Amino acid sequence: MTKESANPSEPPAILQSDFEQITRIVSAQFQIDDSFLEHGIPTYYLKQPQETKEPFLKVLKDLEPMKLIPILRKEESRIVLRAIPKPPVKPSNTLINWILLLATVGTTFITGYMMSPEAINPYVGGASFTVAMLAVLGTHEMGHKITAYKKGVDATMPYFIPGPPPFGTFGAVIMQKSLPPNKDSLFDIGADGPIAGFIIAAIVSFAGLLMLVPSPTVPATTIGEPVLWILIRRALEGLNLLPQPPLNGMLLVHPFAFAGWVGLVVAMLNLLPAAMLDGGHVARSILGEKPRLVLSALSVIFLFIEGFYPMAFLVLLMSMYKHPGPLDDVSSLSKGRKLIAIGLIAIFVMCIFPTLQVFG
């Protein structure tokens, strides 16, 4: 459908016959005010006002056989649609995913083994921490992956990142290889990972708090108690299910419970409305680019106050790059998703630490 360029690095030139076909596809869904080739790119100024969300998705589908993708933007006071060549997607080497997964199994097992209290078998502690940690991180990333697949966005399988104790991992990521169709899709991809991961972290936390280990001595290190743990602990106390510490002693965290704690920290950090974090995608879909930059700055300040210094520097670095947004950056976000955003704020609150030192 397009003429190949003599230079492989340049996009193929659009023929006049192709331009006419593209114009028919666009005009079948939109009212066009003006159309022309701008530097070889089919460009259309749309009449206003008119519905854009569903028509754009139809144009996106109709242009796919031509290996073109539409991009809808608002420039000054005008709405512009451009049809650009679809960038090639490089195949992923899944061997890397498996190697990193196996390495993470090893580092998390060692971490769980080392942190196991004397009262439990360290091999059981290591295995339980590994299973729980991979379940939390894996569910989080598969939430992104499955949603990306449903929205037609190319994305890799999860890359688990091994790390040293006390966590045994630096988390996991997936890489998006194409842009989401619209703000709804951008929101869903950003939100579904933290929601899925939080649910598993909550289940692991509930089960883990039933496994607290009574100890006659107070350990040298302690961890903060997230809001969710406070609520779970009070519920278990009300049901007389929470283990009781010995006189002048303390309750030690089981490795399984610690995996839930780490999962809540991961959810909290990812939900910050900054840069390319999950919360950054959500904020970009709701507020646009400029307000997201302000929220990124506030997120960096929050991370410094909470003592997450490496994460603060990472977010600061990522915030220097502009968020690409979705293909359709004009159509508004659905009202239902705006309500879900309130739920994401509630999840964030559940993961913060109002108390500093509770469990060893």
Band (pLDDT 50/70/90 cuts) for residue 3 is: very low
Q: Which two tokens stand for residue 235?
A: 């519920």
Residue 360 has pLDDT above 60, yes or no: no
Residues in a beta bridge with 41:
38
CB 286 within 8 A of CB 338: yes
158, pLDDT greater than 90: yes
Least confident of 11-20, 130-139, 204-213, 268-277: 11-20
Residue type, 97: N
CATH number listed for the domain at residues 16-85: 3.90.1070
Peptide bond just before 88 cis, omega within 30 deg: no
Asked if the model's pLDDT at residue 194 lies above 50, the reply is yes
Which two tokens mark 242? 């929470």
Helix or strand or coil: residue 283?
helix
Quick check: helix, strand or coil at residue 346? helix
In DSSP notation, 192-217 reads: HHHHHHHHHHHHHHHHHHTT-EEESS
Helices (H), the chain: 16-27, 53-63, 94-115, 122-150, 183-209, 227-238, 255-270, 278-287, 289-306, 309-318, 335-351
Is there a contact between 252 and 211 (Cβ–Cβ < 8 Å)?
no
Q: Is the pLDDT of residue 16 over 80?
A: no
Question: Which residues on neighbouring strands pair with residue 72, listed in sequence order?
Answer: 81, 328
* DSSP code at position 65: G
**Residues 6+ away with beta carbon under 8 Å from 141:** 158, 172, 173, 174, 193
Q: How far apart are CA 224 and CA 253, in angstroms?
A: 11
Q: Is the pTM for the entire model greater than 0.85?
A: yes
Q: Classify 183 as helix, strand or coil.
A: helix
- Any idea where the domains of the chain sit in the sequence? 16-85, 94-359
321-326, Cβ contacts within 8 angstroms, sequence gap of 24 or more? 321/275, 321/276, 322/289, 323/275, 323/276, 323/280, 323/281, 323/284, 323/289, 323/292, 324/179, 325/179, 325/186, 325/284, 325/289, 326/179, 326/180, 326/181, 326/182, 326/183, 326/185, 326/186, 326/285
In this structure, the number of other CB atoms found within 10 A of the CB of residue 268 comes to 23
- Predicted confidence at residue 4, as pLDDT, reads 38
3-state DSSP assignment of residue 358: strand
SS3 category, 312: helix
pLDDT digits (tens, 9 = 90+) for 341-359: 999 999 999 999 865 444 4
- Write out pLDDT tens, residues 53-91: 999 999 999 999 999 999 999 998 899 999 999 988 888
252 φ/ψ angles, rounded to the nearest 5 degrees? -95, 145
Strands 41-46 and 32-38: antiparallel
pLDDT greater than 60 at residue 95? yes
Q: Per-residue pLDDT for 154 more than 90? A: yes
Q: Which long-range contacts (CB under 8 A, 24 or more apart) does 280-283 make?
A: 280/190, 280/323, 281/186, 281/187, 281/189, 281/190, 281/191, 281/323, 282/187, 282/190, 282/191, 282/341, 282/344
